[in-house]
Amino acid sequence: MGKQKRIGILTSGGDCPGLNAVIRAAVSHATLTYGWEVVGIPYATQGLLEGKTTPLTVHCFDLRGIDPLLSMSGTILGTINKGDTLARSSEILASYEALGLDALIAIGGDGSIKILHELARQGSWNLVAIPKTIDNDVALTERSVGFDTAVNTIADAMYRLTFTSASHDRVTIVEVMGRKAGHLALQAGIAGGADCILIPEIPYTIAGVCQKIDELRDRWGRKFAIIVVAEGAGSANDLPGVETQDLASLQCGMGQYIANQIASNDRDRLDVRVSVLGHIQRGGIPSALDRLIATAFGKAAVDLIDREQFDRMVAWQNGRVAAVAIEDVLARSPLFVDPNSYLVETARALGVYVGEGERERGREGEEGEEF
């Protein structure tokens, strides 16, 4: 066992299921295996700026001997996803120096990792990153913490909405998160049995959506439909362009935009309803897969610190943990859906309308070092 280290851990950006499982694994491995001291930094860079820490031990959050962290959603350390952090970098660097940390584990999406990587570069920090995002758009990792649970949450909501839609002969539009990438809408749409899936990477037309609704009725006798739309899907190709950021001026989100366009092109006066899942997608008990990946990532991050392999992000590749250079991750993020991917082909083979053509090809990833 080498010299005792003092390491910090923080969560940054939007919350998601599995963050506490990462913290649990990292703290347990660091203290039980290496005998290190671990401190949590509350509210990410805000905590760094204020020089605040919370001691973390293996059983510090037990409730009558029961460890709640494995299955607790959100983050016990708190998190932020706003503010101009780099504008106050000199203050953050000074506060970090005063904390006396030997290394920092940062759990975040590509935006948070980018900011923390720049701070680490300026301050010569020993940084290890762990990817988390329900958008699953961090490059060089097949899965990020939180994604699987969010897919399950949306698929469950679609299951519930399917029966009420069928009972009332309604077209239900389910708006999900995904401003730039459509992984969440695509995978949840397939898993939940959507009839149409609209994502940022693939252009679509309202005529195509309406044709699918007509086909369900005329060919199969189905009087309802479920449409999943990512919040950043963009305007339809057969209508005047409306940028996603301009939808606020129309006082509607992407789901309502689609509903309005269907209604204006509908001869049969369909009953169209919109369900915006919003932050419900960020909650819930982490799935078994998210807990497994979170635990593996937490352990791997600690081992990277022990090996003094810094400026790396742990990743999930080919069913195991790998370590990849943060610079390579940032150069390829955000990771978009490939319009020609097997999942898109699968959806279309099942008769799902997923638009036509492609807006932008997904970035190709590279494998990292085996861990």
Q: How far is CA 166 from the centre of its chain?
A: 30
CB 230 within 8 A of CB 182: yes
Number of Cβ atoms within 10 Å of the Cβ of 72? 19
Determine if residue 220 is left, alpha or beta; phi over 0 gives left, psi from -120 to 50 gives alpha, anything else beta.
alpha
Q: Is 135 a catalytic residue?
A: yes
CB 127 within 8 A of CB 96: no
6 by DSSP, 3-state: which? strand
CB 363 within 8 A of CB 207: no
DSSP per-residue codes, 252-310:
--HHHHHHHHHHHT-SS--EEEEEE-GGGGG-SPPPHHHHHHHHHHHHHHHHHHHTT--
> For 64-71, which contacts have Cβ atoms below 8 Å and span 24 or more sequence positions?
67/24, 68/20, 69/20, 69/21, 69/23, 69/24, 70/20, 70/21, 70/24, 70/286, 70/291, 70/295, 71/21, 71/285, 71/286, 71/291
Strand 37-40 versus strand 54-56 pairing type: antiparallel
Give me the catalytic one of 135, 195, 290, 303: 135
Number of Cβ atoms within 10 Å of the Cβ of 260? 15
Annotated active-site positions, please?
A: 135
